[in-house]
Structures are given as structure tokens and as C-alpha cells.
Amino acid sequence: MSEMWTAKLRTKWQKELPIEKLLPDDQPAYVASWIYVFGVLTLSALAMIIASGIVLAFEGPAWYHTSDAGKFTNSMHFWSVQLFFVFMVIHLWGKFWMAAWRGNRFRTWATGAVAFISSIATAFTGYLVQTNFDSQWISFEAKDGFNSMGVGAFFNVTNLGQMLLLHVAFLPLILGVLTVVHVLMVRKRGVVPPIDAEPALSNRGPQ
């Protein structure tokens, strides 16, 4: 076989994530429970956040702070974030109580955990760029926290430009990549079987 990296990557990809696994039309019976819906709900809320965020970015604060349609889009962005966190935390509880890191799924859990932390950072910078008394109060409280942790030289939370760029460029990019990797890993390994459906004397589910 060709030694080119393209060929190696293709072979590995076809072996580990063939299209049947990437876009399945059938799932094991145990997946028929509402708790498995919360990953997709989180994903849908994230899609709403990104779509409304793009509109906010194009129109700018002079529009979204004054016009009715602007305020509506701004609220859509805000409330999608609230739902995103509610869904994500219920998803996390579900995966925690079913120990969904079993069967070589540690990386699925870990990317989820890091996505959770980056969501907090994204939401935090979002609150900092409201350009109102609320954001002013939050940043002045937070700067003392950051300085006491010794990271004040890297994150100046009172610097609106830095916070805005982190909120609309860097952090969504990180969160987006983590989410894609997270979902691809679920697809690659398949949904973890319930604890009592696992083979005896083994903590590894079918791969």
C-alpha cells in the first residue's frame, strides 16, 4: 500500500469510523430512553447559540441594544445559553450515573468535561461584553479573582476588546472543535451498554 499520509489516514479512518458508524439508522434497544436525548438537546441549543451569535456579530450592538428585532435576537442568544447549560448538566448527570466512560470511552468523557469548562469561559466572557453596568460590575469583581490566581497578566477581564474577541472567536472555536470530536468519538465506539448488560468480570463493553 502507498506510504503517503493520505493513504494511511484514509485506511485508519475507514477502519475506525466507516460511514455506517458515522450515520447509523439503528441503535440498541437500551437507547430508547429520554436520558439519551440530552446530548442532542445540548447540541441543538449550541446550534441556536451560534446562529443567533452570528446575527448579533453582523448587526452589532447599535442594533441589538435598541431595535425590537435586535433585542429579540439578543434574548434568543441569552436564553439558548441558559438551556444549553441546563441540558449539558442533565446530560452530564446521566452519563455520570451510567458510568459512560466504561469500555474505552474515557476520551468521550474527558472531551465532554473540557467542553463544560470551556463553555463556562465562553459564557463568562459573554457576560463581560454586554457593555452595561452588569458587565462592568462582573469584570471589576472578576479582576481581583484573576489577579489573586496570578493570571491577571494574561487575562485582563476589564479589557473589553480582549474579552469580545475571546468570546466571538477563540472560545467558540475551541468549544466547536471539542464538540465535534466528542460526538465523533461517541459514533466511533457506539453507545455504552447499561452496567447490568455487560459481560461478567469485565469492565469493558463491546468496542
Instruction: List interacting residues with other proteins (CB under 8 A).
Output: 25-26, 32-35, 37-38, 86, 89-90, 93-94
Residue 123 CB, shortest distance to ligand HEM, in Å, is 12
| Per-residue contact string for residues 3-42; x = within reach of ligand HEM by CB under 6 A | ---------------------------------x-xxx-x
* Residue 126 to residue 109: CA distance in whole angstroms: 25
Q: Which of 17, 48, 90, 113 binds ligand HEM (CB under 6 A)?
A: 113
Residue 151 CB, shortest distance to ligand HEM, in Å, is 23
Is 172 a binding residue for ligand HEM by CB under 6 A? The answer is no
Give yes or no for a contact between 160 and 61, defined as CB atoms under 8 angstroms apart. Answer: no
Is 183 a binding residue for ligand HEM by CB under 6 A? The answer is yes
Residue 181 CB, shortest distance to ligand HEM, in Å, is 11
Alpha carbon of 88 to those of 58, 160, 181: distances in Å? Answer: 28, 28, 16
Residue 179 CB, shortest distance to ligand HEM, in Å, is 5
Is 77 a binding residue for ligand HEM by CB under 6 A? The answer is no
Q: Which residues contact 172 (CB under 8 A, 6 or more apart)?
A: 50, 53, 122
* Residue 45 to residue 84: CA distance in whole angstroms: 5
Is 126 a binding residue for ligand HEM by CB under 6 A? The answer is no
**Binding partner at 83 among ligand HEM, other proteins, none, C-beta below 5 to 8 Å by kind:** none
Residue numbers of the site for ligand HEM (CB under 6 A)? 36, 38-40, 42-43, 46, 88, 91-92, 95, 100-101, 105, 108-109, 112-113, 115-116, 179, 182-183, 186, 189, 191-192
